[in-house]
Amino acid sequence: MQAGIAGKVIAITGAGSGIGRATALLLAGCGAKVVLGARRVDRLAALTDQITASGGEATYSQTDVSRREDVAALVQLAQARYGRLDVLINNAGIGPISLLDELRVADWEAMIDINLKGTLYGIAAALPLFRQQESGQFVNVLSTAGLKIVPLQAVYAGTKNAVRAISEGLRQEAGPKLRVTIISPGFVQTDFAESMTNPEVKAQIEAARDQMAISPEAIARAIAFAIEQPADVEIGELVIRPTAQG
């Protein structure tokens, strides 16, 4: 794994916890230069310190992906610090799921702003640089919720499937020198449920998570697998779920 990752400059949104944090640690351990973005600066600073103390290279920028200028600044930081960007991992996401009848419109808008528009802002920031370099890879983190539509998750699944469609369109437009990968995790042991505003739903999701969830490191390994491939090999999609998940 290390040979295909060492030296690459990789930006990660949602890097402060969960999948993003695990991915940053794994990739930095493989020799990548990681550029970390998240809303909580204290977590970014602690993660950067941990990576550098272990001999890795990392830098960070406070990044709210619902703000286009924040995402642009993250990509600009990578270019300014390291002279290029090889991979952008659009990982930041929230899931305040609920029945549509509850009309939690603010939650719907937040999911659209972060899950969907945040990914588009990442594409807008990195695609011109990738074209200029004539190389680059997008890794867009989706969810198995987009593969199996169930009650409570209509809007959340909608945002993930919108990113799926955009990713496929991007892949077809990308040409022979850019790569596009989508990653669909199932239940993962993270603080994902913290964004849920319905207490009953939050409790249900946390119970299911605690019963069957896999570690965020499992998703990090899948992301690393997609990145480490030779430049002419594209891993289009990986689905990683617990064996116990239906």
Active site residue 156: yes
**107 Cβ neighbours under 8 A, 6+ residues apart:** 96, 98, 155, 197
Asked if 36 and 58 count as a contact pair (C-beta separation under 8 A), the reply is yes
Q: Name, in order, each residue with C-beta under 8 angstroms of 121's C-beta and a sequence gap of 6 or more.
A: 65, 67, 68, 71, 72
Q: Given 60, 82, 121, 156, which residue is catalytic? A: 156
Report whether 196 contacts 155 (CB < 8 A): no
Instruction: Report H helices in the chain.
Output: 18-29, 41-53, 68-82, 105-111, 118-133, 154-174, 199-212, 216-228
The torsion of the CA quartet 202, 223, 183, 110, rounded to 10 degrees, works out to: 50
User: Would you please indicate which residues are annotated as catalytic (active-site) residues?
Assistant: 156
